[in-house]
A and B are shown apart, each in its own frame.
Chain A
Amino acid sequence: MIEIHLILVFMIAAAVVAVWVKDLLSAVVAVGAVGIGLSMAFLVLKAPDLAMMQLVVEILSLIILVRATIRKDLPFSASGRWVFNTLSTVLFFIIFLVFAHIALKDIPLFAKPEMRVSKIYIDESLTGTGAYNVVSAITTNFRVLDTLGEIAALFVAVIGILAIARRISHNKEAS
């Protein structure tokens, strides 16, 4: 388990660099380093599926950040209301730690899963879905519902962005 701690330290250091560095391009590169660290952590924890997805999404978000958002005319404000900002940050951090302490006491130990959830799948997936066996019930019913939520979120984002872009192009034609 030493390697996962090394990766976590690397990710935290990269995140701190991303916040503190002045140059925006360097900050974007540091955010990319955090994503690569997360991908390696997934690989160490034996989840190559998630590691692959994290890697490609990280590449895409890095391209979008570099190509489409980094400009010289970005508005940037670093002044004002630092007392309120600091107080709210500390307050939310304390709330997060309290709730994390309560929640972490209840979950099972690492790498010792309980059979509570998977027993429900084994017992009731055949009668609940009408599939022929448990594997196809999970791959074509439960995973499809999971993916449907993911696709719905992405679809709403696409519709919103296309609506905004269409309005801007209408304004450009009118003027």
Chain B
Amino acid sequence: MMNGRNKPGMTLIVKTVTRLTLGFILLYGIYVALSGHYAPGGGFAGGVIVALSFIHIMLAFGKEAALRRLHSGTLRFLVSGAALIFLWAAAVSFTGARMPFNVFNSELALPICEMVVVGGGLFAIFVALVLLSKADRDSE
């Protein structure tokens, strides 16, 4: 990140542009997820954009920098927790009962849960595929 030389990742130009545009991409993903209930978009598209922003870090700075911002334990906890909340909301809403903790069933929480699951899941798939690929393992 300092001089761009002898570091993993791409050239200095790509790193600078990545540092400038990263927050906007992440913010746009969150906006698409939150506004998608009645407008075009939705949790899935927003989650894919969030995953793309982390993949962006990983391509530009190398995989250590990306995993330093988002540890794999944190990633696993977030994805599993959001999936459990979603499962609970979907199961309760079909029993015909008005649920006691109605905040989880609101229009704010469900797109966020979907965004976390999709974004974290796709980023995990990308990390795992890069870790699995043969050339990267041989170069270590």
Contact = CB atoms under 8 A, between A and B. Distances in A.
A28 to B, nearest CB: 14
Contacts of A73: 134-135
B contact patch SS? helix
Interface in B73-132: 76, 79, 83, 86-87, 89-90, 93-94, 96-98, 105, 107, 110, 114, 117-118, 120-122, 124-132
B128 A57 contact: no
Contact of B118 (A154, A169, A172): A154
Contacts of A52: 32, 40-41, 45
B133 interface: yes
A145 B118 CA distance: 16
Contacts of B96: 128-130
A52 B39 CA distance: 11
Interface residues of B, number: 49
A157 B121 contact: yes
Given A52-B32, A73-B135, 10 more contacts: A48-B40, A56-B52, A60-B126, A64-B125, A67-B59, A69-B133, A139-B37, A147-B86, A154-B117, A158-B124
Interface of B: 32, 36-37, 40-45, 48-49, 51-52, 55, 59, 76, 79, 83, 86-87, 89-90, 93-94, 96-98, 105, 107, 110, 114, 117-118, 120-122, 124-135, 137
